[in-house]
Amino acid sequence: MSEQTLDRTVAAAAHTGEPHGGGHSGRANWLRAGVLGANDGIVSTAALVVGVAGATTSTVAILAAGTAGVVAGAVSMALGEYVSVSTQRDTERSLLAHERRELEEFPEQELEELTTLYRAKGLSEATARLVAQELTAKDAFAAHAEAELHIDPEALTDPWQAAGASAVSFTIGALLPLLAMVLPPPGSRIAVTVVAVVLALAVTGAVSARLGSAAVGRAVSRLVAGGLLAMAVTYGIGQLVGTALG
């Protein structure tokens, strides 16, 4: 087998889905956190300010409640992402450390394991063994991390990146319904907020669907329906509370 043929064989065997580079893993991580943060910011803040608007027409009260909700939500989202991604990263590090120990203690068995993995991908026994030997000679640890664990040791998940993306996107998403509520005159603020929220959720729903290779229409419909339901429920409760306290 020529060197070029071997290179093409290795590339085909390692190809488990597009894209699979380490850079994509990092980008997907903060994009996911960003989209989820924006969705949560839009829906939670919209529901909050609409609920307060159902109880009072005071712009100061609505602004105070909305601002508190934005700050609390951003901190909560960032903390949640940090804890979640830190746990994921710790798991990745543990798996990599275990694999490194196995390579040091049982190199022959690990070579057989790598050969088996490439056999399972459809290569012949001879080709799978040759690929495993070539990759082991070049970088055994990286070869096993990719083929066995599907982890790039040079591109582990970053909890700070995910936390920052989540907090910033939540804040940006939350500011839209907050401003849509406090800027218009009292008589039109509910309608303006509903329209702004529906449009924003449609955009973020489409983006999230594209990132996940899902159906755009279904994702948008779910988000918009959920947002409208949340606002309707909190507005009704706000009116009840406002009437009871008024």
pLDDT per position as a tens digit, 169-204? 999 999 999 999 999 998 899 999 999 999 999 998
Distance, in Å, from the CA atom of 81 to the CA atom of 36, rounded to the nearest integer, reads 10
Answer whether residue 16 shows pLDDT above 80.
Answer: no
Average pLDDT, the chain: 84
Measured distance CA(164)–CA(75) in Å, rounded: 10
231 pLDDT exceeds 70? yes
Distance separating alpha carbons of residues 80 and 76, to the nearest angstrom: 6
Q: How far is Cα 224 from Cα 186, in angstroms, rounded to an integer?
A: 24
Token look-up 């918009």 returns: 224
**What per-residue confidence (pLDDT) applies to 49?**
95
CA distances from 57 to 109, 130, 218 (A): 72, 74, 35
Q: 114 pLDDT exceeds 50?
A: yes
Between CA 34 and CA 31 the distance in angstroms is 5
Instruction: Please give the pLDDT value at position 191.
Output: 94
Confidence of residue 128 (pLDDT cuts 50, 70, 90): confident
Q: At 18, is the pLDDT very low, low, confident or very high (cuts 50, 70, 90)? A: very low
As a whole number of angstroms, the distance between CA 194 and CA 177 comes to 8
Model confidence band, residue 1 (pLDDT cutoffs 50, 70, 90): very low
Task: Write down the pLDDT at residue 28.
Answer: 59
Average pLDDT rounded to a whole number, residues 96-124: 89
User: What pLDDT score does 142 carry?
Assistant: 87
Name the residue among 144, 26, 19 with its Cα closest to residue 89.
Answer: 26
